[in-house]
Structure 1
Amino acid sequence: MTNPSDLVRDFVNTYDVESDSDTVPSPAALAAWLHKRDLIGPDDTARDEDLAVAVGLRETLRAALRHNHDHDHEPESSHTFPAFPLRVVLTADGPVLEPVDAGVPGGLARIAAAVMSVRADGMWPRLKVCTESTCQWAFIDSSKNRSRSWCSMKVCGNRTKTRAYRARRQAETG
Protein backbone atom coordinates (compact mmCIF):
# COMPACT_ATOMS: atom_id res chain seq x y z
CA MET A 1 0.00 0.00 0.00
CA THR A 2 1.09 3.58 -0.67
CA ASN A 3 2.78 5.66 2.03
CA PRO A 4 -0.02 7.56 3.87
CA SER A 5 1.53 10.99 3.19
CA ASP A 6 1.86 10.19 -0.50
CA LEU A 7 -1.71 8.88 -0.62
CA VAL A 8 -3.15 12.06 0.91
CA ARG A 9 -1.02 14.27 -1.37
CA ASP A 10 -1.94 12.27 -4.47
CA PHE A 11 -5.63 12.30 -3.59
CA VAL A 12 -5.66 16.09 -3.17
CA ASN A 13 -3.82 16.37 -6.50
CA THR A 14 -6.55 14.51 -8.38
CA TYR A 15 -7.85 18.01 -9.11
CA ASP A 16 -5.44 20.43 -10.79
CA VAL A 17 -6.61 23.95 -9.89
CA GLU A 18 -4.40 25.64 -12.46
CA SER A 19 -5.61 23.66 -15.46
CA ASP A 20 -9.08 23.02 -14.01
CA SER A 21 -8.68 19.33 -14.77
CA ASP A 22 -9.93 16.47 -12.65
CA THR A 23 -8.42 12.98 -12.67
CA VAL A 24 -11.62 11.63 -11.11
CA PRO A 25 -14.42 13.44 -12.99
CA SER A 26 -16.78 10.47 -12.92
CA PRO A 27 -17.71 7.61 -10.59
CA ALA A 28 -15.90 5.16 -12.90
CA ALA A 29 -12.72 7.25 -12.82
CA LEU A 30 -12.93 7.43 -9.02
CA ALA A 31 -13.24 3.65 -8.78
CA ALA A 32 -10.29 3.20 -11.16
CA TRP A 33 -8.15 5.64 -9.12
CA LEU A 34 -8.98 3.87 -5.85
CA HIS A 35 -8.40 0.42 -7.37
CA LYS A 36 -5.02 1.44 -8.82
CA ARG A 37 -3.93 2.23 -5.25
CA ASP A 38 -5.30 -1.05 -3.84
CA LEU A 39 -7.94 0.81 -1.81
CA ILE A 40 -10.82 -1.15 -3.37
CA GLY A 41 -11.27 -4.39 -5.26
CA PRO A 42 -11.40 -4.77 -9.04
CA ASP A 43 -15.16 -5.34 -9.10
CA ASP A 44 -16.09 -2.39 -6.86
CA THR A 45 -17.99 0.40 -8.57
CA ALA A 46 -18.66 3.97 -7.53
CA ARG A 47 -21.92 5.89 -7.59
CA ASP A 48 -22.57 9.60 -8.04
CA GLU A 49 -22.94 9.90 -4.25
CA ASP A 50 -19.48 8.38 -3.77
CA LEU A 51 -17.99 10.91 -6.19
CA ALA A 52 -19.64 13.78 -4.30
CA VAL A 53 -18.20 12.46 -1.00
CA ALA A 54 -14.75 12.07 -2.60
CA VAL A 55 -14.77 15.64 -3.94
CA GLY A 56 -15.89 16.93 -0.54
CA LEU A 57 -13.10 15.01 1.19
CA ARG A 58 -10.51 16.18 -1.34
CA GLU A 59 -11.41 19.85 -1.05
CA THR A 60 -11.64 19.68 2.75
CA LEU A 61 -8.12 18.23 2.77
CA ARG A 62 -6.88 20.95 0.40
CA ALA A 63 -8.30 23.61 2.74
CA ALA A 64 -6.71 21.92 5.77
CA LEU A 65 -3.30 21.73 4.05
CA ARG A 66 -3.36 25.48 3.44
CA HIS A 67 -3.03 25.93 7.21
CA ASN A 68 0.25 24.03 7.34
CA HIS A 69 2.10 27.13 6.15
CA ASP A 70 1.46 28.84 9.50
CA HIS A 71 4.83 28.68 11.27
CA ASP A 72 3.45 29.91 14.57
CA HIS A 73 1.30 26.77 14.72
CA GLU A 74 -1.89 28.53 15.66
CA PRO A 75 -4.67 26.08 16.35
CA GLU A 76 -6.13 24.94 13.05
CA SER A 77 -9.57 25.99 12.09
CA SER A 78 -12.01 23.16 12.16
CA HIS A 79 -12.43 21.07 9.02
CA THR A 80 -15.19 18.51 9.00
CA PHE A 81 -14.77 15.41 6.87
CA PRO A 82 -17.64 13.28 5.71
CA ALA A 83 -18.48 10.47 8.13
CA PHE A 84 -16.32 7.41 7.52
CA PRO A 85 -16.96 4.49 9.86
CA LEU A 86 -13.57 3.17 10.98
CA ARG A 87 -12.58 0.53 13.51
CA VAL A 88 -9.36 0.01 15.41
CA VAL A 89 -7.66 -3.27 14.53
CA LEU A 90 -4.77 -4.51 16.66
CA THR A 91 -1.98 -5.89 14.50
CA ALA A 92 1.56 -7.10 15.19
CA ASP A 93 2.75 -3.62 14.12
CA GLY A 94 0.33 -1.87 16.46
CA PRO A 95 -3.20 -0.52 16.17
CA VAL A 96 -4.46 0.60 12.76
CA LEU A 97 -7.68 2.21 11.58
CA GLU A 98 -9.59 0.16 9.04
CA PRO A 99 -12.87 0.93 7.28
CA VAL A 100 -16.03 -0.75 8.44
CA ASP A 101 -17.54 -0.54 4.95
CA ALA A 102 -16.27 -2.27 1.83
CA GLY A 103 -16.15 -0.93 -1.71
CA VAL A 104 -15.72 2.71 -2.61
CA PRO A 105 -16.94 4.03 0.77
CA GLY A 106 -14.31 1.80 2.36
CA GLY A 107 -11.66 3.08 -0.05
CA LEU A 108 -12.49 6.68 0.86
CA ALA A 109 -12.42 5.70 4.54
CA ARG A 110 -8.87 4.37 3.97
CA ILE A 111 -7.88 7.86 2.79
CA ALA A 112 -9.41 9.34 5.95
CA ALA A 113 -7.50 6.75 7.99
CA ALA A 114 -4.33 7.76 6.12
CA VAL A 115 -4.88 11.33 7.33
CA MET A 116 -4.93 10.07 10.91
CA SER A 117 -1.79 8.03 10.27
CA VAL A 118 -0.01 11.07 8.81
CA ARG A 119 -0.95 13.07 11.89
CA ALA A 120 0.15 10.28 14.23
CA ASP A 121 3.58 9.94 12.62
CA GLY A 122 4.20 13.71 12.75
CA MET A 123 4.18 14.27 8.98
CA TRP A 124 1.00 16.36 8.88
CA PRO A 125 2.77 19.78 9.14
CA ARG A 126 4.88 18.82 6.12
CA LEU A 127 1.85 18.25 3.89
CA LYS A 128 1.02 21.57 2.23
CA VAL A 129 -0.53 23.11 -0.83
CA CYS A 130 1.32 25.61 -2.98
CA THR A 131 0.78 29.17 -1.80
CA GLU A 132 0.53 30.34 -5.43
CA SER A 133 -3.22 31.01 -5.57
CA THR A 134 -3.58 29.76 -9.13
CA CYS A 135 -1.81 26.49 -8.32
CA GLN A 136 -2.81 24.89 -4.97
CA TRP A 137 -0.86 21.70 -5.82
CA ALA A 138 -0.25 19.52 -2.76
CA PHE A 139 3.33 18.62 -1.86
CA ILE A 140 5.38 17.22 1.00
CA ASP A 141 7.73 19.85 2.44
CA SER A 142 11.07 18.12 2.86
CA SER A 143 12.98 21.28 3.82
CA LYS A 144 14.77 21.21 7.17
CA ASN A 145 12.81 24.06 8.70
CA ARG A 146 9.49 23.29 6.97
CA SER A 147 9.53 26.66 5.19
CA ARG A 148 8.78 25.58 1.63
CA SER A 149 5.87 27.55 0.18
CA TRP A 150 5.62 26.49 -3.44
CA CYS A 151 5.22 23.19 -5.21
CA SER A 152 8.11 24.23 -7.44
CA MET A 153 10.54 27.10 -7.07
CA LYS A 154 11.15 27.01 -10.83
CA VAL A 155 7.49 27.61 -11.68
CA CYS A 156 5.33 28.94 -8.86
CA GLY A 157 8.13 30.45 -6.78
CA ASN A 158 9.46 32.23 -9.84
CA ARG A 159 5.98 33.56 -10.73
CA THR A 160 5.46 34.94 -7.24
CA LYS A 161 8.90 36.53 -7.01
CA THR A 162 8.60 38.04 -10.50
CA ARG A 163 5.22 39.58 -9.63
CA ALA A 164 6.66 41.04 -6.41
CA TYR A 165 9.67 42.43 -8.30
CA ARG A 166 7.45 44.05 -10.94
CA ALA A 167 5.22 45.56 -8.25
CA ARG A 168 8.26 47.06 -6.50
CA ARG A 169 9.57 48.44 -9.80
CA GLN A 170 6.14 49.89 -10.60
CA ALA A 171 6.01 51.57 -7.18
CA GLU A 172 9.50 53.01 -7.65
CA THR A 173 8.70 54.51 -11.06
CA GLY A 174 5.13 55.55 -10.25
Structure 2
Amino acid sequence: MTETRSGAALLLRDFVNSLDVECDADQLATPAKLTEWLTGHGLLPPGSPAADERALAMAIDLRAGLREAMHAHHAPSTEALPPELEAALANLPLRVTLTGSHPALVPLGTGAPAALARLAAAIMESSADGTWTRLKVCLERTCRWAFLDTSKNRSRNWCSMRVCGNRTKTRAYRARSRISSPEHSP
Protein backbone atom coordinates (compact mmCIF):
# COMPACT_ATOMS: atom_id res chain seq x y z
CA MET A 1 0.00 0.00 0.00
CA THR A 2 1.24 3.49 -0.79
CA GLU A 3 1.53 5.50 2.38
CA THR A 4 -0.84 8.46 2.62
CA ARG A 5 1.13 11.68 2.99
CA SER A 6 -0.13 15.16 3.64
CA GLY A 7 2.01 18.13 4.52
CA ALA A 8 -0.91 19.61 6.44
CA ALA A 9 -1.52 16.40 8.41
CA LEU A 10 2.16 16.00 9.22
CA LEU A 11 2.32 19.62 10.39
CA LEU A 12 -0.65 19.04 12.71
CA ARG A 13 0.92 15.82 13.97
CA ASP A 14 4.19 17.61 14.70
CA PHE A 15 2.36 20.43 16.49
CA VAL A 16 0.51 18.00 18.78
CA ASN A 17 3.78 16.14 19.37
CA SER A 18 5.43 19.36 20.55
CA LEU A 19 4.30 18.04 23.95
CA ASP A 20 5.85 14.68 24.77
CA VAL A 21 3.41 13.36 27.37
CA GLU A 22 5.58 10.40 28.34
CA CYS A 23 8.69 12.51 29.07
CA ASP A 24 6.77 15.66 30.08
CA ALA A 25 8.88 17.65 27.61
CA ASP A 26 7.18 20.71 26.11
CA GLN A 27 8.70 22.40 23.05
CA LEU A 28 6.27 25.30 23.59
CA ALA A 29 7.06 25.91 27.26
CA THR A 30 7.69 29.65 26.83
CA PRO A 31 6.72 32.36 24.34
CA ALA A 32 10.31 32.26 23.00
CA LYS A 33 10.09 28.50 22.42
CA LEU A 34 6.73 28.94 20.68
CA THR A 35 8.31 31.56 18.39
CA GLU A 36 11.18 29.16 17.66
CA TRP A 37 8.82 26.27 16.88
CA LEU A 38 6.59 28.34 14.60
CA THR A 39 9.59 29.78 12.77
CA GLY A 40 11.24 26.38 12.45
CA HIS A 41 8.10 24.95 10.84
CA GLY A 42 7.73 27.79 8.35
CA LEU A 43 4.61 29.24 9.97
CA LEU A 44 6.24 32.44 11.18
CA PRO A 45 8.69 34.35 8.98
CA PRO A 46 12.14 34.91 10.52
CA GLY A 47 12.36 38.30 12.18
CA SER A 48 8.65 38.40 13.05
CA PRO A 49 7.62 39.78 16.42
CA ALA A 50 8.07 37.23 19.19
CA ALA A 51 5.09 35.41 20.61
CA ASP A 52 3.67 36.71 23.87
CA GLU A 53 1.92 34.99 26.79
CA ARG A 54 -1.48 35.36 25.10
CA ALA A 55 -0.23 33.61 21.95
CA LEU A 56 1.34 30.90 24.09
CA ALA A 57 -1.97 30.28 25.86
CA MET A 58 -3.73 30.11 22.46
CA ALA A 59 -1.13 27.60 21.21
CA ILE A 60 -1.48 25.39 24.30
CA ASP A 61 -5.29 25.39 23.99
CA LEU A 62 -5.09 24.65 20.26
CA ARG A 63 -2.66 21.78 20.85
CA ALA A 64 -4.81 20.26 23.63
CA GLY A 65 -7.92 20.52 21.49
CA LEU A 66 -6.20 18.94 18.50
CA ARG A 67 -4.96 16.06 20.68
CA GLU A 68 -8.54 15.41 21.88
CA ALA A 69 -9.90 15.60 18.32
CA MET A 70 -7.24 13.10 17.18
CA HIS A 71 -8.15 10.82 20.07
CA ALA A 72 -11.78 10.95 18.93
CA HIS A 73 -10.71 9.70 15.47
CA HIS A 74 -10.34 6.19 16.93
CA ALA A 75 -14.13 5.96 17.05
CA PRO A 76 -15.46 8.65 14.71
CA SER A 77 -18.82 10.08 15.62
CA THR A 78 -21.01 12.97 14.63
CA GLU A 79 -20.27 14.82 17.87
CA ALA A 80 -18.96 18.36 17.83
CA LEU A 81 -15.31 19.27 18.15
CA PRO A 82 -13.81 19.08 21.63
CA PRO A 83 -14.64 22.31 23.52
CA GLU A 84 -10.92 23.18 23.87
CA LEU A 85 -10.48 23.03 20.11
CA GLU A 86 -13.66 24.94 19.36
CA ALA A 87 -12.64 27.75 21.75
CA ALA A 88 -9.08 27.87 20.39
CA LEU A 89 -10.26 28.02 16.78
CA ALA A 90 -12.74 30.78 17.60
CA ASN A 91 -9.86 33.03 18.70
CA LEU A 92 -7.74 32.62 15.57
CA PRO A 93 -7.74 35.37 12.93
CA LEU A 94 -8.92 33.64 9.73
CA ARG A 95 -11.00 34.53 6.75
CA VAL A 96 -12.16 32.74 3.62
CA THR A 97 -10.72 33.92 0.35
CA LEU A 98 -12.07 33.08 -3.08
CA THR A 99 -8.98 34.07 -5.05
CA GLY A 100 -7.35 31.31 -7.04
CA SER A 101 -8.97 28.11 -8.20
CA HIS A 102 -10.31 27.01 -4.79
CA PRO A 103 -11.62 28.74 -1.68
CA ALA A 104 -9.02 28.88 1.08
CA LEU A 105 -8.62 29.95 4.68
CA VAL A 106 -6.16 32.81 5.02
CA PRO A 107 -4.69 34.09 8.29
CA LEU A 108 -5.27 37.75 9.06
CA GLY A 109 -2.52 39.92 10.49
CA THR A 110 0.99 38.88 11.39
CA GLY A 111 2.91 37.33 14.22
CA ALA A 112 2.17 34.27 16.31
CA PRO A 113 -1.65 34.49 16.12
CA ALA A 114 -1.47 34.42 12.30
CA ALA A 115 0.99 31.52 12.48
CA LEU A 116 -1.42 29.61 14.72
CA ALA A 117 -4.20 30.43 12.26
CA ARG A 118 -2.11 28.67 9.60
CA LEU A 119 -2.37 25.55 11.77
CA ALA A 120 -6.15 25.93 11.77
CA ALA A 121 -6.06 26.22 7.98
CA ALA A 122 -4.05 22.97 7.95
CA ILE A 123 -7.06 21.24 9.56
CA MET A 124 -9.13 22.18 6.52
CA GLU A 125 -6.36 21.12 4.12
CA SER A 126 -6.01 17.72 5.78
CA SER A 127 -9.77 17.31 5.76
CA ALA A 128 -9.86 18.13 2.04
CA ASP A 129 -7.14 15.59 1.22
CA GLY A 130 -8.70 12.87 3.40
CA THR A 131 -6.02 12.69 6.09
CA TRP A 132 -7.79 14.55 8.93
CA THR A 133 -9.59 11.47 10.26
CA ARG A 134 -6.38 9.44 9.91
CA LEU A 135 -4.67 11.69 12.47
CA LYS A 136 -4.84 9.86 15.80
CA VAL A 137 -3.10 9.74 19.15
CA CYS A 138 -1.64 6.61 20.65
CA LEU A 139 -4.10 4.84 22.94
CA GLU A 140 -1.29 3.88 25.35
CA ARG A 141 -2.18 6.12 28.29
CA THR A 142 1.44 7.00 29.10
CA CYS A 143 2.24 7.96 25.50
CA ARG A 144 -0.55 9.85 23.63
CA TRP A 145 1.87 10.49 20.69
CA ALA A 146 0.11 11.72 17.53
CA PHE A 147 0.50 9.70 14.34
CA LEU A 148 -0.94 9.42 10.85
CA ASP A 149 -2.80 6.11 10.54
CA THR A 150 -1.80 4.79 7.13
CA SER A 151 -3.33 1.34 7.63
CA LYS A 152 -5.71 0.28 4.90
CA ASN A 153 -8.67 -0.14 7.26
CA ARG A 154 -7.76 2.79 9.55
CA SER A 155 -7.51 0.52 12.59
CA ARG A 156 -4.13 1.47 14.03
CA ASN A 157 -4.31 2.17 17.78
CA TRP A 158 -0.71 2.80 18.81
CA CYS A 159 2.12 4.95 17.55
CA SER A 160 4.27 1.80 17.63
CA MET A 161 3.07 -1.76 17.95
CA ARG A 162 6.58 -2.77 19.05
CA VAL A 163 6.61 -0.36 22.01
CA CYS A 164 3.18 0.96 22.98
CA GLY A 165 1.14 -1.91 21.57
CA ASN A 166 3.39 -4.37 23.40
CA ARG A 167 3.09 -2.40 26.67
CA THR A 168 -0.70 -2.37 26.45
CA LYS A 169 -1.00 -6.05 25.54
CA THR A 170 1.47 -7.11 28.24
CA ARG A 171 -0.41 -5.09 30.86
CA ALA A 172 -3.71 -6.68 29.78
CA TYR A 173 -2.18 -10.17 29.85
CA ARG A 174 -0.82 -9.64 33.35
CA ALA A 175 -4.18 -8.32 34.55
CA ARG A 176 -5.96 -11.38 33.13
CA SER A 177 -3.36 -13.65 34.74
CA ARG A 178 -3.90 -12.06 38.15
CA ILE A 179 -7.65 -12.52 37.86
CA SER A 180 -7.43 -16.18 36.83
CA SER A 181 -4.91 -17.10 39.56
CA PRO A 182 -5.15 -14.64 42.46
CA GLU A 183 -2.88 -16.74 44.68
CA HIS A 184 0.03 -16.05 42.30
CA SER A 185 -0.32 -12.31 42.20
CA PRO A 186 2.93 -10.33 42.55
* Same fold? TM cut 0.5: yes
Partner of 1:49: 54
* AA of the residue aligned to 1:153: M
> What's the offset of the Cα at 1:122?
1.8
The counterpart of 1:158, out of the listed 150, 155, 166, is 166
Partner of 1:97: 105
Q: Percent identity?
A: 51
Q: Please list every run of 5 or more consecutive structure 1 residues that lacks an aligned counterpart in the other structure.
A: none
* AA of the residue aligned to 1:85: P
> What's the offset of the Cα at 1:92?
4.0
Q: Does the 8 Å CA contact 1:67/1:76 hold for their aligned counterparts?
A: no
The counterpart of 1:13, out of the listed 17, 27, 31, is 17
Matches within 5 A, 1:35-46: 35-44=39-48, 45-46=50-51
Q: Does the 8 Å CA contact 1:130/1:139 hold for their aligned counterparts?
A: yes
Partner of 2:72: 67
Q: Does the 8 Å CA contact 2:70/2:137 hold for their aligned counterparts?
A: yes
In the aligned structure 2, how far is the partner of 1:144 from the partner of 1:91?
35
Q: Please list every run of 5 or more consecutive structure 2 residues that lacks an aligned counterpart in the other structure.
A: 1-5
In the aligned structure 1, how far is the partner of 2:171 from the partner of 2:100?
53
Partner of 1:133: 141
> What's the offset of the Cα at 1:41?
1.4
SS at match of 1:94: coil
Partner of 1:167: 175
Q: What TM-score, normalized by structure 1, do the two folds share?
A: 0.93
SS at match of 1:38: coil
The counterpart of 1:3, out of the listed 3, 7, 18, is 7
> What's the offset of the Cα at 1:91?
4.8
Q: Does the 8 Å CA contact 2:93/2:113 hold for their aligned counterparts?
A: no
> What's the offset of the Cα at 1:156?
0.5
In the aligned structure 2, how far is the partner of 1:106 from the partner of 1:163?
44
In the aligned structure 2, how far is the partner of 1:117 from the partner of 1:63?
19
SS at match of 1:110: helix
Count of residue pairs the alignment pairs up: 171
